Amino acid sequence: MANVLMAAWGDAFGLPPFGAVRDEDFGPAFDAALVEARANVAAIAASDEVPTFANVIEALELSEDALSRVAGVFYNLVGADSTPAREALQSDLAPKLSAFASEVTNNRVLFGKVEALWQGREALGLTHEQGRVLDLYRRMFVRSGALLEGEAAARLTAVKSRLAVLGTTFSQNLLADERAWFMALNEGDLEGLPEFVVASARAAGEEKQAGGPVVTLSRSLIVPFLQFSPKRGLRQKAYEAWGLRGANGGATDNRGVAAEILKLREERAKLLGYASFADYKLEPEMAKTPAAVRGLLMRVWEPAKRVALADAAVLEGMLRADGIAGPLEAWDWRYYSEKRRRAEHDLDEAVLKPYLGLEAMLGAMFDCATRLFGLEFKVLDVPLYHPDCRAWEVSRGGGHVAVFIGDYFARGSKRSGAWCSDMRGQRKLGGDQRPVVVNVCNFAKGEPSLLSYDDARTLFHEFGHALHQMLSDVTYGFISGTNVARDFVELPSQLYEHWMEVPEVLEQHARHYETRAPMPADMLKRLLAAGTYDQGFATVEFISSALVDLAFHEGDAPADPMQKQAEVLEGLGMPRAIRMRHATPHFAHIFSGDGYSSGYYSYMWSEVMDADAFAAFEEAGDAFDPEVAARLEKFILSAGGSEEAEVLYTRFRGRMPGVEPLLKGRGLVENV
């Protein structure tokens, strides 16, 4: 019987045959796809034809189609709906896929053809996009070690293989810790919790078969528990478990894994001739250098810390007023901050959430995309990989644009966080290939599902990434969608968050899930007025994580990352009651792969641009101004990596921004 993953997919939109795929199909499919990819690459290298852009670069673009197709399904599933079989295969695949990637970039004959094309590019008559793709292919080969020989080349291959294994191990350890821990609650422990938190705790208890309500390490449950539970001992127990993910000792402890990753990254960079891994990693990004990253982060750190310390003094006063001697601890911050928010802004999240139902916010999210870009969304009734998933056909002017899949609820088989990925990217080479894009979140499941304000922002954020994928309009997959500089990739996502806060959007879509009544005008006004509330806390917990990431990679790898983390935080004067957003043992952004390593700062780098980019709409006097929206699509969302990021942004905005819009947007400008 033919493997369903390797056979042609008969769905009208080319969707994977989820209903027919079994875990045991993936291993043979990867084996067959690797054989096919190796044969294709070998044929390109062995050809005695004169090298051309078509028979080298375009052939490479198409050489791994089957492998990309199988991997697109598998890696979406292993992150969003893992099983022991999938995790075992993931561990087995890490060195295999790393070895194949090294085979390609270490192929001297193949690189010779790429280099010959690059050296003679002026005579090739390439389009601008083709020239960009050729530049990026050569850069990929060189940064992967194509210029190394002998022992150095062999060692780099071994280092990359080991790093692939360690990244997978880090992810699986973290998922195991998040899956294993829960705190049982008795009926008395539910005192003071809003009904939506109680409902989430009961649902989590059913999933864990705990015989009653529980708190898990899912952010969508533990954060509201920390916000609302008056029981300080339970808050402390839950918070400390949350902070100890990946640091509980035993087989799932990530501290040694992180240390080995950092040491190998340093070796990788030095083999390639760089002073540090941060220098290597930042070279192709907008920031270019560690000094530029540190400059931005420290520009924001001091005003943010001043605000956070002032807030901490207020919250500690509230703690003492409750008869607790103090000091204010990390497990107290969210509880007293929520009380303060209710007092100062008359905003109670338990009252707010009924107006932010998932269905209402999906409607808002789609409506904004329709008004900005003319997109239409139609529900698809197709088999998907989990019953919680939903799919929509995205179209415009009667033409198919993409398939969008949403997977929104937390479960034990899903890693924490929220992300956007694709099962198939956009390209025109070899036919008009339309994307299949997936948004994954970890919202608490309920009947109905009600979102916090932060949850709703996350929903819009990930859909901003999805728009970057779906509206991509380039010929080559190598530069399509989110294949851009890491510190540019967050611009579309963070920019799209702004539309959730447009008053007319909330007026239309923020409706009570039972009565359908719109959010009261005074509540909406208070909500928007509180937009910068607690930004000292949010900024400090983010920047501290980004600076620790940079410190890990900027010099010699630390033998003890936890000690290095402590030294960095002490040097910053980290406020006592705030912890890093991602402590080292669960800092998946930088250790589950090297995507955000030396690059966690990129959210803030992009925020400098997103604040300025939305100002373009404000200057036009309309959050949906069609001319600005058209420029945004043309120069940012559809362009992929067809130009350097600063070129694309300058074409959209006419200039690069300063840091002032970011400081203003976070409510920190008056403290500069």
Active-site annotation, residues: 462
The strand pair at 390-396 and 376-380 is best described as antiparallel
Tokens of 472: 């991509």
> Which residues neighbour 455 within 8 Å (Cβ) at sequence distance 6 or greater?
220, 356, 441, 443
Residue with tokens 């204010």: 328
Distance, CA of 451 to CA of 353 (rounded, Å)? 6
Distance, CA of 649 to CA of 640 (rounded, Å)? 12
Q: Residues, the chain, total? A: 672
> Which residues neighbour 318 within 8 Å (Cβ) at sequence distance 6 or greater?
336, 339, 340
- HSE, side-chain direction, 13 A CA sphere, residue 162: 17
DSSP string, 189-211: GGTT--HHHHHHHHHHHHHHT-S
Rounded (10°) angle between helices 290-321 and 535-554: 140
Distance, CA of 562 to CA of 559 (rounded, Å)? 9
Collapse the DSSP code of 230 into the 3-class scheme (helix H, G, I; strand E, B; otherwise coil) and give the result.
Answer: coil
Nearest to 91 by CA among 171, 169, 37: 169
H/E segment holding residue 304: helix 290-321
Residue with tokens 């959010």: 519
Distance, CA of 393 to CA of 375 (rounded, Å)? 10
Collapse the DSSP code of 290 into the 3-class scheme (helix H, G, I; strand E, B; otherwise coil) and give the result.
Answer: helix
Confirm if 268 and 159 have CB atoms less than 8 A apart. Answer: yes
Nearest to 176 by CA among 260, 95, 249: 249
DSSP string, 551-576: HHHHSSPPS-HHHHHHHHHHHHT--T
Tokens of 69: 């197709």
Nearest to 633 by CA among 473, 484, 403: 473
Distance, CA of 302 to CA of 298 (rounded, Å)? 7
Tokens of 515: 């009565």
